[in-house]
Amino acid sequence: MLLRLLRATKEGPFESTVAVLADKGPVVREMEDLGVAVYSLGIPRGRISPIGAVRFLALVRRLRPALIQTWLYHADLVGVLLARPLGVRRVLWNLRSSYPDDAHLSGLTALVRRLCARLSPLPHAVVANSWAGMQSHRALGYRPRRWVVIPNGVDTERFRPDPGARGRLMEALGVKEGEVVLVGYVARFIPVKDHATFLEAASRVLRVREDIHFVLAGRGITWSNAFFARTIAPEFRARFHLLGETRHIEDVTPGLDIACSASLQEGFPNTVCEAMACGVPCVVTDVGDSCRIVGETGFVVPPASPEAMASAILRMAHMPRQERAALGERARRRAMERFEMSKVAKMYTRLYHEVLEGTAWRVGIG
């Protein structure tokens, strides 16, 4: 999201400089290609580094920024503790998750989050990318002076309807042309994405209809993963396509007929918004901001319910193609109206202006 924001604001009124806690990676190189100065503090992952703190202090002292926005818990803690003593009073935090407990966090990250909750009145404002994220952090004890909700943005040029994508995807999958329905789930293989429920729902669907194929993509989504080899029944394997981590997911998503999210927890699910931008209607679990994002352009089901997920997929698959396409068109319009990246970038720019000018402003999605 930070990279998308930098792209969308590079011609704007603010000059951005980025400090990364760890070493530079591929995303940093893309930032540098935009002309953004990026500095590495060299803090090893999962460790506390006094040297990194000294580097940050030296960088802030040299640049004298008017405003510092930190992203994620460790940076939030570093920013609020070290920037203020140097006279940088305008510090914004940015929350990107909605996990209500520490189960999905390392021990150090859980500790840092608890410290951030205690220090949350110090930053000028706390930005959350979802209403669910704001509410879960309130429950954790966050009490900032001001909450601001700014959703993630989607690049609607990169993710857009492509009439030829379905044919290319079917050819790549080895699926013969015909009246088949392609159902996708894009998510890395971690427990919170609940692939077990999705596969059970898919199996229920395949017992009813033989013309549906399931396309799954994400890190760890391969046949070499014993979970999939063990869970998917042999008689159904020909109708499951496991793509693994796919760099150009924008070539896959517009080729789907239906996109799904089976998550147990979410903040702002990017893949749902990307599918909508491609004109693909969605079936999602009622977690995080998923229902708020989809609105009336898709179906929402309870989490951890393979029966409900299967029923919703079948209901959407039974729609005439033209009716499903019309639903996808409405989804595309909704994504462009509410989550298009240039509009989200304007929300951030306006926030920066008003924080620097000392006026109040709130942003949200309906």
Give me the DSSP letters along 129-194. SSHHHHHHHHHTT---S-EEE----B-TTTS---TTHHHHHHHHHTPPSSS-EEEEEE--S-GGG-
Ranges of H-type helices in 340-366: 341-357
Cβ contact 189:284 at 8 Å: no
pLDDT of residue 46: 65
* CATH 3.40.50.2000 domain residues, the chain: 2-153+341-357, 165-338
Cβ contact 1:96 at 8 Å: yes
Q: Which two tokens stand for residue 285?
A: 């679990």
Cβ contact 150:271 at 8 Å: no
DSSP class of residue 91 equals E
Q: Pick the closest to residue 151 from 123, 126, 131 (CA basis).
A: 131
The CATH code belonging to domain 2-153+341-357 is 3.40.50.2000
Q: Which two tokens stand for residue 220?
A: 């760890």
**Could you say which residues of the chain have pLDDT below 50?**
360-366
Q: Pick the closest to residue 20 from 9, 11, 12, 6 (CA basis).
A: 6
3 state SS of 347: helix
| Interval 167-202: pLDDT, tens | 999 999 999 877 899 999 999 999 999 999 999 999
3 state SS of 304: coil
CB atoms within 10 A of CB 315: 11
Q: Which two tokens stand for residue 253?
A: 């998503």
Q: Which two tokens stand for residue 29?
A: 């190189």
3 state SS of 24: coil
pLDDT of residue 26: 81
| Interval 250-306: pLDDT, tens | 999 999 999 999 999 999 999 999 999 999 999 999 999 999 999 999 999 999 999
- What is the enclosing helix (H) or strand (E) of 241? strand 240-242
Matching residue, tokens 């690049």: 155
165-338: CATH homologous superfamily?
Glycogen Phosphorylase B; (3.40.50.2000)
pLDDT of residue 156: 96
pLDDT of residue 220: 98
Q: How far apart are CA 237 and CA 223, in angstroms?
A: 10
What angle is formed at CA 245 by the lines to CA 279 and CA 202, rounded to 5 degrees?
60
